[in-house]
A and B are shown apart, each in its own frame.
Chain A
Amino acid sequence: MTERALDETYAAWTRAGILFGQPASLTSPDLDLLLLDTARLCPGEPRLFTHAVSWLARYSRFVSRHRLKRLIERCLTHEDRPTLGLLLDLAIQNGAARELSIPAGVCGHHGDPRPLFDVHRRSGIRQNLARNTACPAAVARGLWAPDVEARRDVLRPPAWIIRHNPGFRDRAIRKGDLRCTILETLRRDVPGGELGSEKALVALCAANRPAVSRALDDLELEGIQLRHPDPDDRRRTRIRLPAA
């Protein structure tokens, strides 16, 4: 990835509440995509990795975990998946919601173990160091990386995060569950926020049909009506975000 992508990732995390000591991005990040970018960049950026673990350990409820699972399967290479898996595993180990194991479960592991970080790949001595100091969670992913102890002193408090990222509030209230995935998927991944059927929504949600149907029911109880009769065929149901 380019230097610009690196700067943008740091700026996005700064906006999300990590104190990296640099300007925040102008807009609130798409958290789930940000995690994918983070996984791609982590090998060259050990501090990004440890701080992202710290953030996730405390703020995992902001993550729309089914959407993250789908994005991993669709957009992240097999090479980068174990890195994200380890990031999620270590976050859980440090107190994140156990449900993060849903996206972590599709991240796999490297059959050929190797150092996670580039800085450990530069010599045999460093590779040995990485292997000898690797934590069990990393070894399980086929990676050699030391354990991470989450740090709260590098994080902004929740009130600041919500103030600068109002969209995170709904995610937190719904604890990152399938309702979040449905709403975020329609907002961010579906042009026009409309799908031709519930089945089409299921295909985008990395969950089974009964679970998606229940989540739609729950959203209706919240007053968010997403199911609409198809005007051309009343037997069919379209899925549409309400007008903003």
Chain B
Amino acid sequence: MIVTDPAERFAEVAEAAARTARELDLAPTWLNNDSRMFSWLLPIGWSERLERVGTFGPLRVEAISRRDLLALKLIAAVKRTQDLKDIETLGPSADEIAFLHRYLDQMELESLDRASFDRQRALLDDLENGDD
């Protein structure tokens, strides 16, 4: 997920990405912000938890924290099986499971249309408890 602030500045990134795509024979849309519509799913405080990857010339790269990544994958896992497998591979700790429970509570609390995350909650219980 790519979040730019202000959003319009993504055009500059897209232009550089298109140049890179031509140089490296990648798909023109290899770097895209199609999933920005899901940015509202990022847990509160995610930007303070970013982890430094490195600095490459003028480019500073940061990655989303492990627990924020787990949160996004938990939401997606209901419809994207690869995300469920990724969660299994990541093997969330007890602390991370607790964070994910709080995250789902918060999401339901803040939902204007009373969206429920029952399926995600069931998956989380399953991850926590093993087979039923």
Contacts and interface: CB of A to CB of B under 8 A. Distances in A.
B126 A159 contact: no
Q: How large is the interface on A (under 10, 10 to 19, 20 to 34, 35 or more residues)?
A: 20 to 34
Contacts of B32: 153
A19 B31 CA distance: 12
A47 B80 CA distance: 9
Interface string B75-90: 0001111101100100
Given A129-B122, A153-B32, A120 B81 contact: yes
A19 B132 contact: no
Contacts of A129: 78, 119, 122-123
Given A119-B81, A125-B123, A129-B122, A156 B25 contact: yes
Interface string A132-151: 11000000000001110000
B27 A156 contact: yes
Nearest to A154: B27
B29 interface: yes
B30 interface: yes
B contact face: mostly helix, strand, loop, or mixed: loop
Given A19-B30, A153-B30, A153-B32, A125 B81 contact: no
B81 A123 contact: no
Q: How large is the interface on B (under 10, 10 to 19, 20 to 34, 35 or more residues)?
A: 20 to 34
Nearest to B83: A46
A157 B122 contact: no
Given A46-B82, A123-B131, A146-B81, A160 B25 contact: yes
Contact of A117 (B81, B125, B126, B132): B81
Nearest to A147: B79
Nearest to A129: B119
A84 interface: no
Contacts of A45: 85
29 contacts: A19-B27, A47-B85, A50-B82, A117-B81, A122-B131, A123-B130, A123-B132, A124-B131, A124-B132, A125-B122, A125-B126, A126-B126, A129-B78, A129-B119, A132-B119, A133-B78, A133-B119, A145-B81, A146-B79, A146-B81, A152-B27, A153-B29, A153-B30, A153-B32, A154-B27, A155-B27, A156-B25, A156-B26, A157-B28
Interface of B: 25-32, 34, 78-82, 84-85, 88, 119, 122-123, 125-126, 130-132
